[in-house]
Amino acid sequence: MHSLSQEIQSFSKDRLKKKCTLVTTVTGRRLLERRGDGGEGEEQVEELEEDGGCGFVEDKSLDLQVGVVRPFLLLASQDAAHDADTLQRHKVSHVLNVAYGVANLFPDQYVYKALPILDLPDTDITAYLGECSSFVDRAREKGGVVLVHCNAGVSRSTSIVIGYLMMREGLTFDEAYGQAKAARPSIRPNPGFHQQLRGYEP
């Protein structure tokens, strides 16, 4: 029976599998490190070409762009809602959080309403419009400014803002969508929300 030390001594590097490691550098370059049979000294590194956007790439840049849809109605991402300077600069008093799993960071400084809405095409977004619009109305009556946000400020919060303009101002979907997009160009309600709002009659 071999002792552990004898097994370790008799082990050969040749029995190790060749290893490839995918590395993404801080600058975003993607490298493939290959370690060959020859052990530690033999290492080959090649840069990978971008593959046309396949796969998931985490975007770590902050999105602090705030769309001013009305003087009292702002549209943004969770990044803006979590940035104290941005909130103060836009004189926000109320925050309508329609994201899922996103905390309200400043409960002592702002009036919050949180509705955890899933960004799925079959979610009934119109079911939330009355409650959300009432929150905006109450803030407006007090001279407040409401920031509406979800995670990215693209689908859920946009749909709520579009619905508000349709419900309270009598705009058509196209008019409301156009005004929201002018305020925040990155908006894109998911196909289900788009269809629901297009057919919505307050």
In this structure, what is the dihedral angle of CA atoms 166, 169, 175, 176, given to the nearest 10 degrees?
-50
For 19, phi and psi rounded to 5 degrees?
A: -125, 135
Q: Which of 20, 54, 132, 150 is catalytic?
A: 150
Task: Determine the Cα–Cα distance for residues 132 and 161; give it in Å rounded to an integer.
Answer: 9
Is 146 buried (19+), middle (13-18) or exposed (0-12) by CB count in 10 A? buried
Residue 150 bears catalytic tag: yes
Task: Determine the Cα–Cα distance for residues 57 and 46; give it in Å rounded to an integer.
Answer: 20
Closest to 82 measured CA to CA, from 67, 95, 70, 98: 95
Task: Determine the Cα–Cα distance for residues 153 and 169; give it in Å rounded to an integer.
Answer: 22
Task: Determine the Cα–Cα distance for residues 106 and 69; give it in Å rounded to an integer.
Answer: 23
Residues belonging to the active site:
150
